[in-house]
Amino acid sequence: MTTITIPKKIAQSGDLILIPKKEYDRLLKLGQRLLWEERDTDEAIEIFGREKKAGKLKSANNFSSILKAARRHE
């Protein structure tokens, strides 16, 4: 049986969890993807704000008017 000694300094600093490296790598990738999505969303919101302020966005009263406008531009 393998024995692991955990230093008191590490054990007393909070909760300690042991997981397989594969699982750790998967969770790390998931966290990175979520950060990327958050940054991407923040950037999209900034672009929307700039374009709205510049008057580049068109508005519609309902979905059917959006479809009609899209058909005219085909």
Report yes or no: 40 and 50 within 8 Å, Cβ to Cβ. no
User: Phi, psi at residue 51, to the nearest 5°?
Assistant: -70, -35
What's this model's pTM, rounded to 2 decimal places? 0.49
pLDDT, tens digit (0-9, with 9 covering 90-100), for 13-69: 777 788 889 999 999 999 999 999 999 999 999 999 999 899 888 777 888 888 887
**Which residue bears the tokens 């531009």?**
73
What is the domain partition of the chain in residue ranges? 20-57
